[in-house]
Amino acid sequence: MTAQTLDVVTIGNALVDVLAKTDDAFLAAQDIPKGSMTLIDEARALHLYAAMGPAIEVSGGSAGNTATGVASLGGRAAFLGKVRDDQLGAIFTHDIRAAGVAFDVAHAVAGPATGRSMILVTPDAHRSMNTFLGAAVDFGPDDVIEAQVQAAAVTYMEGYLWDSPSAKAAFLKAARLAHAAGRKISLTLSDPFLVNRYKEELKDFVEKHVDIVFANEEEVCGLYDAANFDAALQAVRAHCEVAALTRSEKGAVIVAGEEVHVVDAAAVDKVVDTTGAGDLFAAGFLFGLTNGHGLYDSGRIGALAAAEVISHVGARPQLKLAELVTAELGASQAKRA
């Protein structure tokens, strides 16, 4: 059996975030559904970019953010995804490697440019994402670095990949590889609209392949057509070994068979930009699980990591999360289950 040299390998769309402040009137004028991720083509991307205000560029992408979170916590992380050999691709590659994440997938030398997500942040700190996938759609089974998947305690994937057939095929390959190596598979449902687009496929995939599922309230209710959060919780616990269900400021509920934990949200002085909250919750939770913490403490680490990332602009940690967690969890951090 391959030695376990990685805690988490994440698979997802390699994207650079283009972040700008805006207001609700601009979202309405541009027909942008608030709080969701909308896929856009290149023409729409150019139109929207011309209409929006000055921006800053920060490396992003849901699974990439999660990998940097794991590394920031002191975990061993790798990322699988696709950029082109262009300036944005060089930026993405630099940032994720500089954060301590292994990123060894070959860059595309032809085809669309590196993908980007135009993220519009309203004064209430909500983010509305408009994503041009670019080179990310060409991520496929050949890009899955088998040795990394076999060496990682958990392979984590973002549901967003479902929008690309070749990425979905890569997904399934990674799931098979991981399970054959005795590892765990984890999936985040990513977005309520995505859940609606691929409901039956996702439900089937969760039931058959996923050990640890992440979802927010709206996503998990959508997946099971549940009338309320509790009904969704009962449905998902029958399908997965572990489900980590997040509810923004209401905290999270972790279910694993008979075991259920309620984890409060960590305090935040001022919520600036919610981009990356779910990604960093997943990072903290998976770091905890793969480093010997119990479900409750893993949830608390997730909540702390999420609180840090929503207190500033950008979806990757600015503080060394390992120090934050040690300071906040104190003795319980030292205690390994």
DSSP class of 140: -
With CA atoms as reference, report the closest residue to 321 among 65, 58, 63.
Answer: 65
13-28: burial string, b at 16+ Cβ within 10 Å, e else: bbbbbbbebbeeebbe
Could you write out the DSSP letters of every residue in 174-187? HHHHHHHTT-EEEE
| Contacts to its own copies from residues 11-50, by CB under 8 A | 21, 49-50
Question: Smaller CB distance to its own copies: residue 21 or 197?
Answer: 21
Interface with its own copies includes 54 (CB under 8 A)?
Answer: yes
Q: According to the binding rule CB under 8 A, does residue 272 interact with its own copies?
A: no
CA 76 to the chain's CA centroid: 16
- Options 90-98, 158-166, 173-181, 235-243: segment touching its own copies (CB under 8 A): 90-98
Q: By CB under 8 A, is residue 333 in contact with its own copies? A: no
Question: Least Å distance between CB 175 and its own copies?
Answer: 29
What is the C-alpha to C-alpha distance for residues 287 and 225, in angstroms, rounded to an integer?
31
Q: How far is the CB of 291 from its own copies (least distance, A)?
A: 22
Name the phi and psi angles at 129, rounded to 5: -105, 140
Q: Does 99 bind its own copies (CB under 8 A)?
A: yes
Determine, following the binding rule CB under 8 A, whether residue 318 of this chain makes contact with its own copies: yes
- The answer to the question of residue 316 lying near its own copies (CB under 8 A) is yes
Residue 82 in 3-state DSSP?
A: coil
Of the ranges 2-10, 75-83, 93-101, 192-200, which one interacts with its own copies (CB under 8 A)? 93-101
- Stretch of 145-153, 177-185, 204-212, 313-321 contacting its own copies, by CB under 8 A: 313-321
Report the residue from 39, 88, 263, 324 that binds its own copies according to the rule CB under 8 A: 88
95 near its own copies (CB under 8 A): yes
Select the residue interacting with its own copies from 28, 29, 98, 327 (CB under 8 A): 98
Closest CB 122 distance from its own copies, rounded Å: 15
Q: Which candidate, 26, 31, 28, places its Cα nearest to that of 52? A: 26
Q: Which of 218, 204, 206 is nearest to 242 (CA)?
A: 206
Report the site for its own copies in 104-163 (rule: CB under 8 A).
Answer: 113
Q: Which is nearer to its own copies, 54 or 334 (CB)?
A: 54
Based on the shown chain and the rule CB under 8 A, indicate whether residue 85 belongs to the binding site for its own copies: no
Please say which residue, 83 or 243, places its beta carbon nearer to its own copies: 83
Q: Which of 124, 131, 126 is nearest to 34 (CA)?
A: 126
By beta-carbon proximity to its own copies, the closer residue of 49 and 229 is 49
What length is written for the chain? 337
| Cα dihedral value 86, 92, 96, 98, nearest 10 | 70
Distance CA 51, CA 53 (A): 7
- The residue among 84 and 293 lying less far from its own copies, judged by its C-beta, is 84
Dist. CA 271–CA 263, nearest whole Å: 19
How many helices (DSSP H) and strands (DSSP E) are in the chain? Answer: 14, 13
**Minimum Å distance from CB 70 to its own copies?**
14
- Give CA–CA dist 104/198, Å, rounded: 30
Closest to its own copies by CB, 104 or 204: 104
Using CB under 8 A, count the residues that bind its own copies. 25
Among 2, 26, 36, 55, contact with its own copies (rule: CB under 8 A): 55
For the purposes of burial, counting CB atoms within 10 Å of the CB of 247, is it exposed (0-12), middle (13-18) or buried (19 or more)? middle
53 lies in the binding site for its own copies (CB under 8 A): yes
Residues that bind its own copies (CB under 8 A): 21, 49-50, 52-59, 68, 86-88, 91, 94-96, 98-99, 113, 314, 316, 318
